[in-house]
Amino acid sequence: MVIIKRFSAFVLCGVLSLVAFPFDSVQAQRARPAGASDVVVVLPFENSSTASEYNWIGASFADGLADLLNVPGIVVVSNDERELAYARLRLPLTTLPSRATAVKIARELNATMLVLGTYNIAVPPKGDPIGASLSGTARVIRVDEGRLTGEVIDGAWAARQYDFGGPVPTLQTMQGRLAYQVLYQRDQALTSSLNQFIDRATKVPPRAFESYVKGVMTDNPETRSAYFQNALLEYARANAGATYAQAAFELGQLYFRQGDYQRAAENYAKLQKTDQNYAEAAFYSALAYWRMKDLQRALGALMPMASDTPLTNIYNNAGALSVQAAREQKSDATTERNRLITQAISFLSRAADSSPHDPLVHFNYANALFMSGKYAEAAEQLRPVITANPQDGEALFFFAKALERSNQAEAATAADNEARKHLQQQYAKLQTEWQKSQMVTGIPVRLYVEFDRYSYIAATRPLTTNTSADQDSQNLLAKALSFYDGGRDEEALPELRRVLMVEPTNAEAYLLIGRINTRRGELDPAVSALKTAIFWEPKMIDAHILLGRIFLERKDRAQALGYAKTAVGLDPNNQEALGLMRQVETGAK
């Protein structure tokens, strides 16, 4: 039942003021898409009783409602995204935030609706045949308005709260009812019925659901494994042997962290392309097979992702694994070796385009080019690697051989001497291999070993635009620029937020956010915003120049040089770019 309570004034004081605007590639796209009405985040509900053994129920609301509220017209913030927001705000995942902090989390995710709740557990006396029951209340906050959802009645704002309760085994039914009530209050033209929501909510058997949530909440590896395995067993028993995908993924993650790569890969393989964590499972499955020295399966796990998902870490790993597979081809397998090298160059060139200052990518790209006989190009790819780390002995050795094969003897000798200095005992082994085969297969390829959730969420978030939205964003941007030019940063930032609500890919807005944060001396959020501007518009020279200046100020000459070179490459006559290059080269500020 929905109960109405009156509030003469409900204001979230202070929280809705925009003090800073820290953005990165995922936050850039967590802004509400133009074609969606709302972005919703559900936080774990708070257990107000002393029965701590039922804390798992609070987490189950965040998980269950996130799935149930995912209907047309709504973008639901996934639990992964929510966890990343906690990490960004330096909040432990076990934190039960105050309402003000909860709104801050929602704003961090660019959510327009926030669902909060509390519940109480009634534990029966020992021997009582009736199990524990719960009762609770949920509230929905309109983040942009800073108040609870509701309606005006008799001239006063009536905020809605949603009550739920019943025996613990009926928890999922409660969640189905709650999701229906929230969505019906938002839009009374809701096409799905209450029974349909309850059917969706109860698709996972209660025991499987409880085991899964408890497994997520515990840090003890043995207990965690037991819960997930029980969840898989209960789900399969009730669904003719089908797989509980979320439990299989979490079990795979547990085994992967323990170094049990065989069992990790087996559980990752249970996920289908339609499952929420399929991409991450494929990524770690490839790493698991790689560590088992099964390159064929490693590439098989990653190739579908490399074709579908434009992410640097996936392109890099697919390219690096292709290089390694090409190395291991027999000498008479020329056709397959050439195919793998071509494949590696294709993936790694895309990785270099998407992340032009990433030393790891350039190292692997150089390897692929070297194997194809493009020695001078390989040497050029290695230069930024060595600039980033002048003591990288493997890169120096590789660089020396690329220079040698491209007939740059003097430079090759100098690089070889540096490599000898930093490689020490490893140098003799690599040099012996080189003298025998003219190859550098003793230097391993370099893989990303952490899945980039930020970038994946950003790349896969559906975005739409339209003419009127574009016009609105330009008008808002012009207004923000006017405020910025007048030194009125506090008024410019809210306008920029509105730009990104309309057009999440607006690089000019991120550039201006970067300028404002730089002017304030808040360099971390400035760097984040400027990198996002470049992500959407790689040729935005002003962003490259400003990033170069920031890194020069931080005495990070390698990164400053990278951005200065890019800026000069974009416009060799740009005086600001040339000035930055001179400053970097002379070490001046």
Q: Closest Cα to residue 389, out of 549, 556, 527? A: 556
Q: Closest Cα to residue 439, out of 378, 377, 370, 376? A: 370
pLDDT of residue 2: 37
Helix (H) or strand (E) run with residue 528 in it: helix 523-536
Pick the CATH number of 205-311 from 1.10.1740.10, 3.40.718.10, 3.40.1180.10, 1.25.40.10: 1.25.40.10
pLDDT of residue 15: 28
The residue type found at 174 is M
pLDDT of residue 211: 94
Alpha-helical segments (H) within 292-438: 295-308, 312-327, 334-354, 359-371, 375-388, 393-405, 409-423, 425-437
pLDDT of residue 12: 30
Give residue limits of the domains in the chain. Answer: 2-203, 205-311, 312-451, 457-586
Cα–Cα distance, 433 to 436 (Å, whole number): 5
Range 457-586: architecture per CATH: Alpha Horseshoe (1.25)
Task: Tell me the CA distances in angstroms from 475 to 446, 480, 502, 515, 542, one per residue in order.
Answer: 46, 9, 11, 19, 21
Cα–Cα distance, 424 to 439 (Å, whole number): 19
Cα–Cα distance, 572 to 398 (Å, whole number): 30
Axis crossing angle, helix 206-217 with helix 221-238, rounded to the nearest 10: 160
Cα–Cα distance, 16 to 533 (Å, whole number): 25
pLDDT of residue 21: 37
- 10-residue mean pLDDT profile of the chain (589 residues): values are 34 31 38 58 93 90 90 84 83 77 84 93 75 92 81 78 92 95 90 92 92 90 95 94 94 96 96 89 95 94 83 92 90 82 93 86 94 93 92 93 92 92 88 86 91 76 43 79 88 85 76 92 89 81 92 89 91 90 78
CA 116 and chain centroid, separation: 24
Token pair 């980033």: residue: 388
Alpha-helical segments (H) within 89-193: 99-108, 171-186
Cα–Cα distance, 145 to 234 (Å, whole number): 43
Q: Are 301 and 327 in contact (CB under 8 A)?
A: no
Q: Are 215 and 184 in contact (CB under 8 A)?
A: no
pLDDT of residue 538: 80
pLDDT of residue 127: 61
Q: Are 215 and 247 in contact (CB under 8 A)?
A: yes
pLDDT of residue 440: 83
For the record, the structure tokens of 573 come out as: 């006559």
CA 113 and chain centroid, separation: 21
pLDDT of residue 128: 63
Q: pLDDT tens digits for 553-586? A: 888 888 889 999 999 998 999 999 899 999 888 8
Range 2-203 classified under CATH 3.30.9.30: no
Q: Are 247 and 235 in contact (CB under 8 A)?
A: yes
Cα–Cα distance, 1 to 177 (Å, whole number): 9
Q: Are 70 and 200 in contact (CB under 8 A)?
A: no
pLDDT of residue 126: 73
Q: pLDDT tens digits for 513-545? A: 999 999 988 888 889 889 888 876 788 899 999
Superfamily (CATH) of domain 312-451: Tetratricopeptide repeat domain (1.25.40.10)
Axis crossing angle, helix 56-68 with helix 194-201, rounded to the nearest 10: 130
Q: Do 2-203 and 457-586 come out as alike in CATH topology?
A: no
